Homo-oligomer: A and B are copies of this chain.
């Protein structure tokens, strides 16, 4: 079955994205899969190859899913709202992409950073670059894209911090409310 390979990719991606490369052993992956560690080597020649395949698998899935929803038909402001919602929803449904992205940003060497730039960003980057040019002509578009990414990534991860902080709200932060908050801040700033 070619199905085992995909299940292996999914399992490995789950574990690598939350525990990191060094934090996951082949035995652990095999145990979760319900097979022995040696069996993995029938599908991938090394831990490194499995990691790269799993990361590529997740990145392609996520960039495809998001870029599908990036229609260019609306006005710039409407397009921003749609893009923010689409990114939040896709990265909420599958947290693996954002976690691998953030982790590689922390510890990745030059080569992996370059791979991230090529694989992860090309799908979003051009539509966003175009959009920033319409929303704020003459500005540094790359800085604005990094700002938007920072808002989205950090809000999604920081939610688990919220209940432990002073002045915590009682209710959970929903994705639609996050989308509203980020859109407003990005468009009009804190005083909006």
* Residues of A near any B CB (own CB < 8 A): 18-23, 99, 102-103, 105-107, 113-114, 116-118, 121-122, 125-126, 129, 132, 135-136, 139-144, 146-147, 149-155, 157-158, 160-162, 164-169, 173, 178, 181-182, 185-192
Considering the chains assembled together, what is the distance between the CA atoms of A187 and B161 in angstroms? 24
Known A99-B106, A150-B154: A140·B181 in contact at CB below 8 Å = yes
CB pair A143–B113 under 8 Å, yes or no, is no
A interface majority secondary structure: helix
Question: For A116, what are the chain B residues with a Cβ–Cβ distance below 8 Å?
Answer: 161, 164
Considering the chains assembled together, what is the distance between the CA atoms of A130 and B52 in angstroms? 45
Question: For A136, what are the chain B residues with a Cβ–Cβ distance below 8 Å?
Answer: 190-192
CB-nearest residue of chain B to A24: B22
Question: For A126, what are the chain B residues with a Cβ–Cβ distance below 8 Å?
Answer: 166
Considering the chains assembled together, what is the distance between the CA atoms of A165 and B113 in angstroms? 10
